Structures are given as structure tokens and as C-alpha cells.
Chain A
Amino acid sequence: MIQFKNVSKIYPNGTIGLKNINLTIESGEFVVIVGLSGAGKTTLLRSINRLHEITKGEILIDGQSITAAEGRELRNIRRDIGMIFQNYNLVKRSSVLRNVLAGRVGHHSSWRTILGLFSQSDLDLAFRALERVNILEKSYVRADQLSGGQQQRVAIARALAQEAKIILADEPVASLDPITTRQVMNDLKRINQELGITMLVNLHMIDLAKSYATRIIGMRAGEIVFDGPSQAVNDQILAEIYGETMSDEEVGAYAR
């Protein structure tokens, strides 16, 4: 469970990132956050595992405050939160397997992982994760040899090997073609349903959001302007999230 309590974020240059957010996400939900670029989607997501610091309020993960956590405590909370990025964020020169095993480091002491002493169960977890995203045969290939979609699946495998309870996905399909987009989104959906991992996904495409999410959160200018089941999203709500829609005359003017 993720809880936001009066969370605000103001960037050093004065830009408002988040404005008094109060939000609870239950375990096992598939939540998609939508909104324009700059609406605060990324800030919201990254404040959950503290890749971004908040300026006010508190965020609790399963009742434990990540805002107050430091050192080992912070690392242990992060260990339970997988993250998937728009640019995959793999180490390109390392093999697929090593990238996935990197997800295991939080479970072991530094010296063991530095010497590369992963146990058989770590390897099993890594291979099973790769199997789950249908990319097992690429285990020993260097990450930069893979296509974008394949790299994103490696990133998903890393989060699975991590045995995360929550997965944060920040625009996971923004760099992918429509077909690969479907595959990656299907993987996320399957993982959510089969393993019960809480899924928080940032998307800017509303159609995609509606077809995968059980719950949609709409953001605009750092505030939550909509929060409800995906079937409740209608044109009026879209207008509120994305701003005024263009009138027919305007569209006509552009067409001429």
C-alpha cells in the first residue's frame, strides 16, 4: 500500500511539481497516471521511491515512511519497489543476465555482490524472470544488442528478479512502436494479475490507459484532477485533464 499525505514538491527554481497530494493506492491495483507533459506524473512516481525528494508531507510504503528513512532502511524500502524507465536504463555493455541480477543486489551484502557471488536461487530467479517476459534465449547477449522492446522486457525482468511488491513504470512505452507497446503493456498486466504486484504506470496516451488500468489518476499542474475507475473517464473529464479541447471550427481551420 502506498500513501501520500499532504505531499507537495516545489523545485528550487520555484516550479510547482506536486500540490498537496493525498492519495492511497492499495496492494494489487493497476493504476495508470495520465496527464500532459509537465503535469507532475513523473514527479509523483519518482517521489514514491525517493528518486525525487518532496518538500512537504510524507509518503508511506506499507505503513513505513520512506520520507524519513535513511541508509539501510531506505535501501530496504527501495528493494521492494521495482522501477521501469522510458529509456530502459540498462547497463548497455553488460549482459542481459547481469542486468537482471543487478536487481538482486539489495538482498545481499555489498562484498558478496561485488565479488559476483550470486547463489543458485538468485540465478533461478533471474532466469525465471527472463522466461516470464519471453526473452530467456537472450540471457548471455549484451544488452545493447537488443531492440527497444526487448530491452524494456529485460528491465521488467530486473524488477521481477528484485521480487518487488510494487512496480513503478515511468512512460514505459513512450519510445516503442505500437505493437511492442502492446506486448510490454500485456507483460505488465500479466505480472499484475498473476503475481499480484501493485502496478503504477505513467502514460500520456489515454486510450492505452483505459484499456489496461483498473484505476486512472488524472494530473494537471501538479494536482490530481481525476481519480476513479477507467470506465468513468468521459470527455468532460478528459477536458479537465488535458485542458480545453479544440472546437470543431479550430480543427476545420487547421484542415484548410
Chain B
Amino acid sequence: MNRDRLQKPSNIKAYLTFILFILLVWGSAVRVDADLGKLILGFPEMGRILREMWPPDWGYFPKIADAMLETIRMAILGTTFGAILAVPISLLSARNITRSPILYLSARLMMNLIRTIPNLLLAALFVAIFGIGPIAGIGALTLFSFGLIAKLTYESLETIEKEPLEAMTAVGATKSQLIVFGVIPQILPQFISYVLFTFEVNIRAAAVLGLVGAGGIGLYYDRTLGLMQYERASSIILFTLAIVLLIDYFSVKIREKLI
């Protein structure tokens, strides 16, 4: 073949994608009245708050230790319950496991519906139901974890190897036997990894939930910011950072072992 006749594929698609992206960002900025000037004018105020945050009130640590523990416990319970609920829904949502479109489409609809409701709104709803306290937070985290884990797991489920499932069908396995012997061994490492990731996210999320009275460390955020005790707020931030780093370290270790 003549090399001159080989045509270089055109780059037009890449250029168009880039232009579209720029337009999208610029358009969004215009529509929400984002103003660079305003941002720059805000800098001194930001600096003032940051200065007040330093040094953190180290003596505040022991006072918030109990609330921090409560946050961690809320995250543990919420992640666990959410993970348990996510298992059947993700199996039902995966097209390669649930053949019936009615079943998998309705499972996905339910999953997406729950994922649409923002965290804080969930917490506020649960506070209205269960009253102020950690139970509301656990409820909110359960639903939030459920949505996140179910979504990630079902997407991974759809990419598992189909050959072992075929072999299980051929030996005369029932659906549940096919899942236990063919699906679970393939999905387990990813599933655990998603649960750990969700747990990390939940620690941070749990901190915010306290703002609406759903228990944990968030209550102290609310209090210190309301009273403009920025040095205390910064010590809460640092405490949370330490916990998050610790959990991050261990979950990375665990995930390394799994793969």
C-alpha cells in the first residue's frame, strides 16, 4: 500500500470537545454570576478568618473526643448497614445477573432515587423522624452508603467474567448457587474496597451531619462557628484530619492485600 494514501485521522473531534468544555465552564460561570472581582475582594476576609484559626485551641481536643468517637461509631454503623442493603440491590441491578428488564430497571430506579437525595436533607428528614441525636445520623449515613456502594458494586458486577457463570449454569446450579460460587468470589475484593472508601467518606460526611442535629462532631462545628471561636473550629478540623488520615492509611493497607 502506498504510504501517501494513508490519511491521518482528523483531530477535529478533540478540538470540538475542548471548545465545548470551555463553553460549558464559561456559560456556567456567567449564569451563576461568578465574579472574579468578588473573589479577590473576599481574600482579606478569608485571611482574617485563617489568622484567627491559628493557633488552634489544643485544649479543646479532650472536650470533643467523645463527640469524635460518636462520629466514628455512626460511620461504622451507617457503612455496615448500607453495605448490607447494597448487596441485594446491586445484584438485582446488574444486567448480567438479573435478566428481567423490569427487575433490573426498577432496582436501578430505586437506587438512583435514594442517591439523588442529598446527605443533609436525609439527615434533616431523619432528625424529623427520630429526633435529634445519632440515630438520625446513622439512618442518613445508611442510606447514603447504600446508594454509593450499590452503584459502584453494580457497575463492577457488570464487568465480571461471564465464563465461570456459564460453567455454573452448565453444572445445574440455581441462581443463588451461581451467585455464591461464580459471582461473589469475583466481586468480593472490589466490594470490600468500596465499603472502605465509603467509610472514609462517611467520617467526613458524619461531621457535617451534626449541623442539622444528627449527632457527632458536627454539633461542635455548628457551635464554634456560631460563636466565632475559629481557633476551636480549626482544632476540630485538625482532629478530623488526623482520624481521616489514620483510616485512609489502614484502608490502603487492606486494599493492597486484597488485589
Contacts and interface: CB of A to CB of B under 8 A. Distances in A.
A208 to B, nearest CB: 23
A92 B167 CA distance: 13
A79 B177 CA distance: 13
Contacts of A81: 170
A211 interface: no
Contacts of A75: 172-174
B176 interface: yes
A89 B171 contact: no
**What bracket does the count of chain B residues touching chain A fall in?**
20 to 34
Interface in B161-194: 161, 163-164, 166-174, 176-177, 180-182, 185-186, 188-189
A2 to B, nearest CB: 15
Interface in A100-140: 102-103, 105-106, 110, 113-114
B177 A110 contact: yes
A155 B167 CA distance: 9
Given A91-B186, A94-B185, A114-B176, A106 B166 contact: no
Contacts of B180: 113-114
Interface string B185-218: 1101100000000000000000000000000000
Contacts of A82: 170-171
B186 A105 contact: no
A49 B177 contact: no
A220 interface: no
A76 interface: yes
Contacts of B188: 93
A114 B185 contact: no
Nearest to A115: B180
A85 interface: yes
A78 interface: yes
Interface string A57-93: 0000000000000000011111101110101111111
A105 B172 contact: yes
A151 to B, nearest CB: 11
A51 B169 contact: yes
A79 B163 CA distance: 17
Contacts of B161: 92
Contacts of A88: 163
Contacts of B167: 83, 85, 89-90, 102, 155, 158
A162 interface: yes
Among B161, B167, B168: residue with most chain A CB under 10 A? B167
11 contacts: A49-B170, A51-B166, A75-B174, A78-B169, A78-B170, A92-B164, A93-B189, A98-B181, A114-B177, A158-B171, A162-B171
Closest 5 CB pairs of A and B: A106-B172, A79-B172, A78-B172, A89-B167, A75-B172
Given A78-B169, A98-B181, A110-B177, 13 more contacts: A75-B174, A83-B170, A89-B166, A91-B182, A92-B161, A93-B185, A93-B186, A102-B181, A103-B171, A105-B172, A114-B180, A155-B167, A158-B167
